[in-house]
Amino acid sequence: MNICMVGTGYVGLVTGAGLADLGMNVICVDKDASKISALAQGVIPIYEPGLEELVARNERKGRLRFTTDLVSGIQNAIAIFIAVGTPPKADGSPDLSFVREVAEAVADHMNDYKVVVTKSTVPTGTGKMIEEIIRTRNGKWPFSIVSNPEFLREGSAVGDFLEPDRIVIGASDAKAIEIMKEIYKPLFLRETPFVITDVASAELIKYASNGFLAVKISFINEIARLCELMGASVEDVATGMGLDPRIGPRFLLPGPGFGGSCFPKDTAAAADLSRQNGYVFELIEATIRVNAATKSRMIEKIRGAVGTLAGTTAAVLGLSFKPETDDIRESPALAVVGDLLAAGVRVRAFDPAAMENARALYPQLTYAKDAYDCAAGADFLVLATEWNEFRALDLERLGSALKCKAMIDLRNVYDPGEMHQAGWKYTSVGRP
Ligand code: NAD
Sheet order of strands, 366-367 included: 366-367, 346-350, 313-317, 380-383, 406-409, 425-427
Nearest CA to ligand 1 atom 41: 10
pLDDT at 195: 98
**What is the per-residue pLDDT across 192-225, written as a single tens digit (0 to 9) for each?**
999 999 999 999 999 999 999 999 999 999 999 9
Mean pLDDT, range 188-194, rounded to an integer: 93
pLDDT band at 172 (very low <50, low <70, confident <90, very high): confident
**What is the per-residue pLDDT across 326-340, written as a single tens digit (0 to 9) for each?**
999 999 999 999 999
- Give the C-alpha separation, 329 to 99, whole Å: 20
- Give the C-alpha separation, 196 to 194, whole Å: 6
- Collect all residues with Cβ–Cβ distance below 8 Å to 131 and sequence separation of at least 6: 145, 172
2-197 shares its CATH topology with 212-427: yes
Amino acid at 40: A
Ligand 1 atom at shortest distance from the alpha carbon of 98: 15
Mean pLDDT, range 122-146, rounded to an integer: 97
Spatial contact of 354 and 319, defined as CB atoms under 8 Å apart = yes
Nearest CA to ligand 1 atom 22: 7
Distance 354 CA to ligand 1 centre (A): 18
pLDDT at residue 114 greater than cutoff 90: yes
pLDDT at residue 277 greater than cutoff 90: yes
pLDDT at residue 432 greater than cutoff 90: no
Report the topology of domain 212-427.
Rossmann fold (3.40.50)
Mean pLDDT, range 380-399, rounded to an integer: 98
pLDDT more than 90, % of the chain: 98
Mean pLDDT, range 83-106, rounded to an integer: 96
Mean pLDDT, range 390-394, rounded to an integer: 97
Nearest CA to ligand 1 atom 25: 10
- Give the C-alpha separation, 201 to 122, whole Å: 12
Nearest CA to ligand 1 atom 12: 7
How many angstroms separate the Cα of 107 from the Cα of each of 112, 230, 307?
11, 60, 61
How high is the mean pLDDT of the chain? 97
Ligand 1 atom at shortest distance from the alpha carbon of 86: 32
Mean pLDDT, range 415-425, rounded to an integer: 97
- Give the C-alpha separation, 198 to 208, whole Å: 15
CB atoms within 10 A of CB 404: 14
Nearest Cα to 349, choosing from 329, 334, 331?
334
CB atoms within 10 A of CB 231: 7
pLDDT band at 256 (very low <50, low <70, confident <90, very high): very high
- Collect all residues with Cβ–Cβ distance below 8 Å to 99 and sequence separation of at least 6: 82, 84, 86, 118, 120, 122, 126, 130
**What is the per-residue pLDDT across 315-372, written as a single tens digit (0 to 9) for each?**
999 999 999 999 999 999 999 999 999 999 999 999 999 999 999 999 999 999 999 9
Nearest Cα to 301, choosing from 288, 289, 314?
314
The model carries a pTM of 0.96
Residues serving a catalytic function are 262
Mean pLDDT, range 284-309, rounded to an integer: 98
- Give the C-alpha separation, 369 to 296, whole Å: 28
Distance 36 CA to ligand 1 centre (A): 14
Mean pLDDT, range 215-240, rounded to an integer: 98
Distance 33 CA to ligand 1 centre (A): 15
Ligand 1 atom at shortest distance from the alpha carbon of 68: 20
Distance 29 CA to ligand 1 centre (A): 11
pLDDT at 139: 87
| Domain boundaries along the sequence of the chain | 2-197, 212-427
Q: Which residues line ligand 1 (CB under 6 A)?
A: 6-12, 29-32, 35, 70, 83-86, 98, 101-102, 120-121, 150, 152, 154, 261-262
Nearest CA to ligand 1 atom 10: 7
Task: Judge residue 392's burial from the number of C-beta atoms within 10 Å of its C-beta, 0-12 exposed, 13-18 middle, 19 or more buried.
Answer: exposed
pLDDT band at 50 (very low <50, low <70, confident <90, very high): very high
pLDDT at residue 48 greater than cutoff 90: yes
Amino acid at 323: P
Within the chain, how many helices (H) and strands (E) appear?
18, 14
Nearest Cα to 184, choosing from 101, 283, 117, 112?
117
- Give the C-alpha separation, 248 to 292, whole Å: 25
Ligand 1 atom at shortest distance from the alpha carbon of 13: 26
Within 94-197, residue ranges assigned H as helices are 97-109, 126-137, 157-162, 174-183, 185-189
Distance 7 CA to ligand 1 centre (A): 6
- Give the C-alpha separation, 143 to 115, whole Å: 6
- To test the pocket of ligand 1, the residue of 6, 14, 27, 30 to mutate (highest count of ligand atoms within 8 Å of its CB) is 30
Nearest CA to ligand 1 atom 29: 120
Distance 243 CA to ligand 1 centre (A): 37
2-197 CATH, one of 3.40.50.300, 3.90.1150.10, 3.10.20.810, 3.40.50.720:
3.40.50.720
- To test the pocket of ligand 1, the residue of 8, 39, 71, 84 to mutate (highest count of ligand atoms within 8 Å of its CB) is 84
